[in-house]
Structure 1
Amino acid sequence: MLRTALVLTLALAGPALATQEYILPTLFDVARVAPDDVLNIRAEPSASADIIGTLAPDATRIEVVEEIRGWARVNSGEGTGWVSSRYLDYRTDVWEEGALPQGFACYGTEPFWNLRATEDAVALQQLGEPDLTMPLTAVLSTGVFRDPTRAVVAEGMTLTATPQACSDGMSDRQFGLRALVVLQGDRPRMLTGCCSVQPRD
């Protein structure tokens, strides 16, 4: 009897229960905003909070790093703010199995560093160190549908990016991926920071 009830419940729930929509951080497009209007970015997750920026009605690939009660946290300039989630549609093409989104990049301080990945290489810049370009050997994922957790394996380096609230220490921006870089070779060392999937201009 209990088994029959469970099967019936799952059947009635349909694909909503069977398909995980998204895990943050991921990218969204602005939707349902009039062509002559804008989507306001507010200082707090409230319709009465100060407006600190706007998104165009046709803006695409907006990174959302957190959601609270129908509000989505996005980055704007060097700061962070909130937009109403009802005006955002999530993209299904962001976290593909064994791959990185096009805008994937990581940053850190102490020392300052940044990392960018292409289809075949990883480029690492560190303050006071020579720039490194390392052949990319693998991008590993968990196998969980649309899970952003990644391990990026390159010649002499491994980066792990884990969904977790993160601050880069350089701005008021908030990130949704915490980064750990392990460098091998003659002088093994570890770098920590944050990653973003916000496309670069």
Structure 2
Amino acid sequence: MKAVLSACLLSLWASLAHAQAVPAFYDVSGVAPDDVLNVRAAPGVGNSIVAKLDAGATYIEVVGFDEKREWARINVEEQSGWVAARFLTRRADQPDDELPRPLVCTGTEPFWSLEVARTASATLDRMDEDPVSVSTLNPVTSENRTDRYAIFGQSQTQEVFTFMFQRDACTDGMSDRFYGMSVDLFVTEESGVTYLTGCCNLSR
């Protein structure tokens, strides 16, 4: 009986965690039309206000929560901040066991960017090089980790690409922003394999 109860509790916990995967888009809700939602420097009403969101703000990317999931971490311009989670409503049609697309990923030193389209394509832009269009297969979700994904692709010049994504905290090392997804990028060319790492934002 205890084993069954433990299994049920574990399943419930996994379901709750799974249902709230980030990053994800949220809308501001429950705020009076003439009021604003304060963005604070840290979780808690006693912390300083760093920005404000309009009552009708939509497509707010949440990249994390505090331990009690009472506060949600977001980015406002080039800084990270926290808002009370009770004033946010998750937008529909955001599967937690699939790679969210479109995405915009960036990396530093060397600087590069990757745009992953909603359909089977991506564009890689590396410093001092022309952007490369990549035809991709559909994303693959890990069989034992639904927060990890892979995309395989190829360019017209026969370069082979492997993109490995993971839902986890990520920082770019250059700003105060935080991200909810990281990426490992492998480019296989005649000269060898290039390995790049970066962070990703949800796009629209």
Report the TM-score when normalising by structure 2: 0.82
Structural mapping, 1:76-95, within 5 Å:
76-95=76-95
Tell whether the 8 Å contact from 1:100 to 1:139 is kept in structure 2 after alignment: no
Tell whether the 8 Å contact from 2:21 to 2:96 is kept in structure 1 after alignment: no
Tell whether the 8 Å contact from 1:25 to 1:148 is kept in structure 2 after alignment: no
Tell whether the 8 Å contact from 1:43 to 1:52 is kept in structure 2 after alignment: yes
Count the aligned residue pairs: 194
Q: Given the superposition, is the C-alpha separation of residues 107 and 59 from structure 1 closer, same or farther in structure 2, using an over 3 Å criterion?
A: same
Deviation digits for residues 117-146 of structure 1 (CA, Å, limit 9, x no counterpart): 11121100011222101111221123679x
Q: Secondary structure at the match of 1:195?
A: strand
Q: Secondary structure at the match of 1:138?
A: coil
**2:161 is matched with which residue?**
157
Structural mapping, 1:89-128, within 5 Å:
89-95=89-95, 98-102=98-102, 104-118=103-117, 119-128=119-128
- How far, CA to CA, are the matches of 1:131 and 1:190 in structure 2? 17
Structure 2 residue 175 is matched with structure 1 residue 176: no
Structural mapping, 1:3-82, within 5 Å:
6=5, 20-68=18-66, 69=68, 70-82=70-82
Give the aligned residue type for 2:116: A
- How far, CA to CA, are the matches of 1:61 and 1:150 in structure 2? 23
Provide the identity percentage.
33
Runs of 5+ in structure 2 lacking a partner?
155-159
Runs of 5+ in structure 1 lacking a partner?
none
Q: Secondary structure at the match of 1:86?
A: helix
Q: Given the superposition, is the C-alpha separation of residues 97 and 174 from structure 1 closer, same or farther in structure 2, using an over 3 Å criterion?
A: closer
Give the aligned residue type for 1:154: G
Give the aligned residue type for 1:163: R
Deviation digits for residues 14-62 of structure 1 (CA, Å, limit 9, x no counterpart): x887564222222222111111111110111110211111122122221
**2:157 is matched with which residue?**
none
Give the aligned residue type for 2:107: G
- How far, CA to CA, are the matches of 1:21 and 1:179 in structure 2? 22
Q: Given the superposition, is the C-alpha separation of residues 151 and 37 from structure 1 closer, same or farther in structure 2, using an over 3 Å criterion?
A: same
Which residue of the other structure, out of 180, 186, 198, is the alignment partner of 1:193? Answer: 198
- How far, CA to CA, are the matches of 1:47 and 1:170 in structure 2? 28
RMSD, aligned α-carbons: 2.8
Tell whether the 8 Å contact from 2:137 to 2:152 is kept in structure 1 after alignment: yes
Give the aligned residue type for 1:192: T
Give the aligned residue type for 1:172: D
Give the aligned residue type for 1:153: F
